[in-house]
Structure 1
Amino acid sequence: MVNGLVAAYAAGELSTAEQSRTSPDPPGQEQAARAAYLARALGGGAYPLLAGALADGAPRSVPEAAYRAGAQPAAGRLRGGEPPRGS
C-alpha cells in the first residue's frame, strides 16, 4: 500500500514538473491563477469548513495529540492489545 502511495505521489510530482517546464506561461503565473481561484472559492461561501481550516487563527493540529487519538490505539489493536472499536 505504501509503495502505491509513493508511486502515485512521484508520478504526480513528475507530471507537475513536466507541465511547469513545458508551460508557455511565465513562472509563477499558474500559481497566482490557482491562488486567485482558491480565494474566490473560499470567499464565495461554498466551502465553509475549508475556509475555516485555512483562516488565520484557526486551531492547528498537534501531531502528538493526533498520534495519541488515532495511530497509537490502532497500533495497539493490530498488536492485539485492545479490542476493536465498537465491540
Structure 2
Amino acid sequence: MTNTSNWRDDAACLNHTRVFFPRTDNPADTATAKKICGICPVKTACLDDALATEVGAEESRAGIRGGKTPKQRANLARTRRRKARAAA
C-alpha cells in the first residue's frame, strides 16, 4: 500500500468496478464483489471512507464498499453511533 491519501490506487476493485454495483443485495448478486473485497489490502480504508461520506451523498450509498452492501453499511453505522453514545 502506498499511503492513506491514495488508498484507492491500491484497491483490488480498481479494474472491476461494474461488479460493485449489483442490482440487489441478494448474496448471489454481491458474491463476486465481496470476494474481491475479501482480498483487498485497503478494505478497511474503503469501508471507513464509505461510512464517512455516505451521510447526505446518495451516490456514495450505492454499491459494495469495504465488503458491505448499502444496507449492511447503514446497520454498521447505526451500531457505531449507538456505541459512541453509550461510551460518552
Determine if the TM-score, normalized by the shorter chain, exceeds 0.5.
Answer: no
Which one has a bigger Cα radius of gyration? 1
- Bigger helix fraction: 1
Q: TM-score normalized by structure 1? A: 0.29
